[in-house]
């Protein structure tokens, strides 16, 4: 993949840009295998799964800079100046197509971009998510509610220009800190969930719920989990750190009880909507994964999909428990290695790299653990 932004040094976020993709994939797979060499045997590894090397991101996270009349959508440089990246080639084409309209809307609604140097202005970020069917979710991340009335006033014009706009909201981030969004979400459309159809199920997203940014690879990851879990014959499944329920929803089956646990109430609300009509008994609860595992028993199969820091104390609980099979999905092979060391009674039987983030060293690894 060739990128003008990378070649001109305007953006260096994609650290592997310019490296042939087959070389990227081979080197990334080798790197992950080295990091896990002490825990995962060579013969456990499957061929890495890869989707398209460009046009794969279903979500654009755009820092807004510039001025009201000439906004930039992309990132901020070290001096806080806006760098426009609206033609970024890793975004899905359907995302790139709408960004000029969003820039025009910033001008129409007179939303002043936030300036880091002076801590003045309103619009910090635009977050845009696209479903496989083309529908869009748009979130304005603002410093305050000062511009909300103007956004409401001009929103009909934006929706007329972008009929695929399905969900719109405002997120309020008053603090001057390096985070993407705040706690307060203000809905601007009656519809506040967006369907994300996958091969086997449809996941329903709400504004503050997380979903993998690469739809094709996420679909393959969930399908692999289902295939590897077949031999477990599980009647009772826990999906810990479940997010919007991707793994648990895919593992739903007649006669099977699935419980998903996640600290985000928004994500759990999404999972509960998606569970409607699926077979078996599905329950999604807001809570801490480690606390849940400490209080309950009876799972035959446990899925963990933690943040980068890994599962920590939960590893000891799983090692000392009676669960026979664990599926561990990790975005950080280093923390995964530490966690596997804490679970010596659960041995890796299968492992596979899923290239969720082409052009970077970031990775997703799925490991099947079986009790010795």
List, by residue number, the catalytic residues. Answer: 331
**Nearest Cα to 84, choosing from 144, 16, 4?**
4
| Alpha carbon distance 56, 153 (integer Å) | 33
| Alpha carbon distance 64, 222 (integer Å) | 34
| Alpha carbon distance 62, 85 (integer Å) | 8
| Alpha carbon distance 330, 308 (integer Å) | 7
| Residue listed under structure tokens 């797979």 | 29
Tokens of 37: 């060499």
Integer-rounded Cα radius of gyration of the chain: 21
| Alpha carbon distance 241, 211 (integer Å) | 12
Integer angstrom CA distances of residue 66 from 101, 123, 141, 197, 260: 16, 11, 16, 36, 43
Q: Where are the beta strands (DSSP E) in the chain?
A: 49-50, 59-66, 71-76, 82-84, 123-130, 136-142, 165-172, 184-187, 194-197, 202-205, 236-240, 257-262, 281-286, 301-304, 325-330, 346-355, 364-371
Residue length of the chain: 372
246 by DSSP, 3-state: which? helix
Mention every residue, 6+ apart, whose C-beta is less than 8 A from residue 278. Answer: 201, 249, 252
Q: What's the DSSP call for residue 48?
A: P
Distance of CA 63 to the CA centre of its chain: 18
195 by DSSP, 3-state: which? strand
| Alpha carbon distance 11, 270 (integer Å) | 34
Q: Are 330 and 365 in contact (CB under 8 A)?
A: yes
């Amino acid at each position: 993949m060739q990128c003008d932004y990378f070649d001109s040094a305007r953006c260096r976020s994609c650290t592997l840009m310019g490296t042939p993709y087959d070389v990227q994939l081979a080197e990334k797979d080798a790197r992950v295998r080295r990091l896990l060499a002490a825990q995962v045997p060579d013969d456990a590894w499957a061929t890495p799964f890869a989707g398209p090397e460009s046009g794969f991101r279903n979500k654009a996270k755009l820092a807004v800079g510039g001025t009201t009349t000439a906004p930039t959508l992309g990132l901020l440089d070290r001096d806080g100046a806006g760098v426009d990246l609206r033609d970024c080639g890793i975004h899905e084409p359907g995302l790139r197509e709408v960004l000029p309209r969003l820039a025009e809307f910033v001008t129409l609604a007179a939303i002043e971009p936030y300036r880091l140097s002076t801590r003045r202005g309103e619009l910090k970020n635009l977050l845009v998510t696209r479903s496989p069917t083309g529908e869009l979710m748009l979130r304005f991340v603002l410093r305050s509610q000062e511009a909300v009335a103007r956004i409401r006033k001009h929103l009909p014009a934006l929706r007329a220009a972008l009929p695929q706009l399905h969900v719109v909201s405002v997120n309020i981030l008053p603090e001057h800190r390096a985070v993407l969004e705040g706690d307060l979400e203000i809905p601007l459309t009656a519809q506040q969930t967006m369907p994300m159809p996958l091969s086997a199920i449809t996941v329903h997203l709400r504004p503050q719920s997380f979903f993998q940014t690469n739809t094709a690879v996420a679909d393959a990851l969930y399908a692999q989990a289902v295939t590897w879990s077949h031999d477990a014959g599980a009647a009772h499944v826990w999906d810990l750190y479940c997010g919007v329920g991707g793994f648990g929803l895919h593992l739903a089956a007649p006669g099977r009880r699935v419980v998903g646990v996640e600290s985000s109430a928004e994500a759990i609300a999404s999972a509960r909507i998606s569970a409607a009509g699926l077979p078996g008994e599905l329950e999604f609860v807001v809570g801490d994964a480690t606390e849940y595992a400490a209080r309950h028993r009876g799972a035959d199969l446990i899925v963990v999909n933690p943040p980068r820091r890994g599962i920590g104390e939960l590893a000891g609980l799983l090692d000392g428990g009676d669960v026979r099979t664990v599926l561990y999905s990790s975005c950080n092979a280093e923390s995964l290695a530490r966690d596997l060391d804490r679970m010596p009674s659960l041995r890796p039987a299968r492992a596979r790299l899923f290239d969720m983030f082409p052009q970077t060293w970031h990775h997703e690894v799925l490991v099947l653990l079986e009790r010795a």
